[in-house]
Structure 1
Amino acid sequence: MRLKTNTTDVLIIGAGASGLMCAATAGYRGRKVWVLDHAPKAAAKIRISGGGKCNFTNQVVTPNEFICQNPHFVKSALARYQPQDFIDLVDRHGLEYEERELGKLFCCHRAGDLIHILKTECDWAGVTLQLKTSVKSIAKLTPKTPDEAAFRIETNECFIECQSLVIATGALSFPKLKASNFGYQVAEQFGLRQVPVRPGLVPLTLKGKWRDFCQKLSGIALDVKISTYNEQTEKSFEEALLFTHQGISGPGVLQISNYWQPGQAIEINLLPNVDVLAELMQLKQSNASLIRWLQQFWTKKFTQAWLEMYPIATKLADLPNEEIERFAQQITHWILYPSDTAGYDKAEVTLGGVDTDEVSSKNFEVKNVPGLYFIGEVLDVTGHLGGYNFQWAWSSGFAAGQTV
């Protein structure tokens, strides 16, 4: 059977956060826009993120919250479409949302409300959304005028010719949601450099006695300061750590996972807002109970597990200062060597991707392939935890949508 050939001004591959934002923006400019996705539902990652409530942006977003080989690349898009612009959009639709710690904004009810807003915007902008459609091949054409098609895409249902082609396919995290390496394959087809990829915002796993330690404490959370070091930088975050059956997770661990490399240590201060040594010395002077003091900050279960791992005579008055100093050091500089990350199945994002030097920071068009655009997570841009990756989706999608 001969496949029909359709034409459109803009074809966007990927119906996620950046793709839908780009589609609506371009559609409102009067462009004829078509969005394809191989998944059965649009924006699946939005639906499950933030525990089903989607941390869709942050009150304060600066370039400092992003990891990219070119730290200046993110500045233009973030300046042109800011958190308040997206907040204004969801306000117009009456979305109920709440602010949580560190400026994070979440849907009050369910992330599906946000997906409904994005799809409604696309409907109003005249966008065609086609799901369960796989792309078989992409061919570059040689248009003689700007009105002629620059690309010919073969799908499992038809051919589509378009002037502008936008790759908004996301990356490798959450393979159960149909995540794939398609965007990287397109980049390779057109000869674009890529930064090696790895899981980001991901739990860390441990082996041996520390895995057993964490397993025993699974479900317990502590507010900590967690750090990692390499030759160039020290990176620290003061957020919660959660013990799991495989190792450690929680916001602080997810943040540090973006900077940790295999073989490196992480250092954890279990009482970051306490002068531990001074208070232990005070306990020694007053002959007070160490266990009672620890249980001001920790659960009984964690206190017990810690004292089993780092035994100390509970009557501090009988101990030399050196032993108390060593115990304080163990609490404030707990060193762990993770064995690995929990992989793409548990990763919220993918680090690395299409080298940002290959695309314009103003409109995300590939410098050497006119009409081809890459937006969102497929690029080598990764935000910290806290709504920054969704803000990158909105900002990059909007910037490209103004040009395609």
Structure 2
Amino acid sequence: MTEKYDVIIVGAGAAGMMSAIEAGKRGRKVLLIDHAKKIGEKIRISGGGRCNFTNIHTHPSKFISNNPKFVISALSQYTQNDFIDLIKKHNIKFHEKKLGQLFCDESAQQIIDMLLLECETANVVLKKETIIEDIDKQEDKYFITISSDKYFCDSLIIATGGLSVPKIGASKFGYDIAKKFNLNIVETLPALVPLTFSEKILAMCKELTGLSVEAVVSFKKIFFEEGMLFTHRGLSGPSILQISSYWKLGDDIKINLSPKLDIVKFLSDRKNSNPKHDINAIVSEILPKRLAHIICNENNVSGNICELSNKVLNKLSNSINAWAINPTGSEGYRTAEVTLGGIDTEEISSKTMMSKKHPGLFFIGEVVDVTGHLGGYNFQWAWSSGYVAGRYA
């Protein structure tokens, strides 16, 4: 059997469903294909099951790409407010958590149901549990082979995501298609991912498992001030996940465990005002006791503060305000929230998301070299890039 569609979309995640809805609204005959039994799994598991679906502070500066300006067009064509309006239209209750992050009050499933209903309204044909065997181009048409069936279309949208969270079906399919059509790919790496550390740091983290502190984590001139979590596998939490998207293997990251306090001045003042005070007790005023105890031990400091030289206090201060550590790597795609890198934006029109080399071939969402910061930005990129492709496919 050979069947003709105007638009075929591969990948029924956030970006894929969004593009299907917009193309369908234009009266295009749309086929949406996914290899999974349950679609939208990344939506379902996000935000602890409540889906951090966008961020009110969405701005091009919140995205990483070899071409930082690439996101401007799509984000302006379909903004965070446009998606919020869609949520409101479907009476989905939501709340702002912090730093502009918006979550469903009830369940991420509401977002999936909303998108499926919009697809249905736009007459989108959805095929689940469907494995594509081949994609080919003949003249100006794209041909999809599925078992003994063939489908062809004028516009083909690739929305297959990146390599993060393979247990819910992530694959390199989108990159393979890009290579087949001779498009350049920026090296891919796990992003928004916990980092791993040497045995020494790991032993410390294990002792502090479950402890969370507000910290500034920096790499070169990039820094994030959010929660940091000690786990039995190393360091995690928002500030670590954020910096993981920028950090390069072999380099140090710096952690300020007490960003609101100049520790050198604080300890100097204490030494003058209360010289008989125990150093461990003083550090415990700034940091959680378990952490304070470990830092004092690491610096071999104990006893009254008056017994410690300024040189020793400076070293102790540095280990609190500017703790330099060298990660050994990351936990990889297994726990990464997104994929850094992807299809080179030089290959794609920022206005339409269409390949410059192959008219009618579009790439959207995580498969493209665009990575958002933590906090709903990657979903907004999916909505915006999906919307744009759907308008032009």
The TM tier, using the shorter chain, reads over 0.9
The Cα shift of 1:307 comes to 2.0
**Does structure 1 retain, via aligned residues, the 8 Å contact 2:278–2:302?**
no
**Does structure 1 retain, via aligned residues, the 8 Å contact 2:364–2:382?**
yes
2:194 paired residue number: 203
SS at match of 1:353: strand
The Cα shift of 1:186 comes to 0.3
1:224 paired residue number: 215
Instruction: Give deviations 1:95-141, integer Å, cap 9, x for gaps.
Output: 11110111111111111111111111111111111110011001102
SS at match of 2:193: coil
Q: TM-score, normalised by structure 1?
A: 0.95
1:376 paired residue number: 365
Change (3 A) 1:329 1:391: same
Instruction: Give deviations 1:8-52, integer Å, cap 9, x for gaps.
Output: 111000000000000001111111111000011111101111111
Q: Distance in 1 between matches of 2:318 and 2:28?
A: 62
Are 1:17 and 2:14 counterparts? yes
Q: Distance in 1 between matches of 2:251 and 2:310?
A: 31
Q: Give the letter for the 1:7 counterpart.
A: K
Q: How does 1:136-175 map to 2 (within 5 A)?
A: 136-143=133-140, 150-156=141-147, 158-175=149-166
Are 1:258 and 2:230 counterparts? no
Change (3 A) 1:360 1:63: same
Q: Distance in 2 between matches of 1:346 and 1:299?
A: 28
Are 1:357 and 2:354 counterparts? no
Q: Distance in 2 between matches of 1:26 and 1:293?
A: 63
The Cα shift of 1:310 comes to 2.1
Of the three residues 276, 292, 295, the one matched with 1:306 is 295
Q: Give the letter for the 1:342 counterpart.
A: E
Q: Give the letter for the 2:270 counterpart.
A: L
Q: CA RMSD in A?
A: 1.2
The Cα shift of 1:292 comes to 3.6
The Cα shift of 1:314 comes to 3.5
1:133 paired residue number: 130
Unaligned runs of 5+ in 1: 144-149
The Cα shift of 1:79 comes to 0.7
SS at match of 2:3: strand
Unaligned runs of 5+ in 2: none
SS at match of 1:169: coil
Q: How does 1:2-401 map to 2 (within 5 A)?
A: 4-143=1-140, 150-156=141-147, 158-229=149-220, 234-287=221-274, 288-401=277-390
SS at match of 2:111: helix
SS at match of 1:101: coil
Q: Distance in 2 between matches of 1:351 and 1:78?
A: 19
**Does structure 2 retain, via aligned residues, the 8 Å contact 1:133–1:156?**
no
Q: Give the letter for the 1:270 counterpart.
A: L
The Cα shift of 1:370 comes to 0.9
Instruction: Give deviations 1:193-238, integer Å, cap 9, x for gaps.
Output: 1101010000000122111111111111111011112xxxx21111
Q: Distance in 2 between matches of 1:215 and 1:7?
A: 58
Instruction: Give deviations 1:124-161, integer Å, cap 9, x for gaps.
Output: 11111111001100110214xxxxxx111001362111
Q: Give the letter for the 1:121 counterpart.
A: E
Instruction: Give deviations 1:376-395, integer Å, cap 9, x for gaps.
Output: 00000001111110000000
The Cα shift of 1:297 comes to 3.7
The Cα shift of 1:240 comes to 1.0
Runs of 4+ in structure 1 deviating by more than 6 angstroms, as ranges, are none
The Cα shift of 1:323 comes to 1.8
**Does structure 1 retain, via aligned residues, the 8 Å contact 2:216–2:259?**
yes
Q: Give the letter for the 2:272 counterpart.
A: Q
Q: Distance in 1 between matches of 2:315 and 2:143?
A: 67
**Does structure 1 retain, via aligned residues, the 8 Å contact 2:77–2:388?**
yes
Count of aligned residue pairs for this structure pair: 391
Identity of aligned residues (%): 46
**Does structure 2 retain, via aligned residues, the 8 Å contact 1:283–1:289?**
no
Q: Give the letter for the 2:267 counterpart.
A: L
Q: Distance in 1 between matches of 2:125 and 2:283?
A: 60
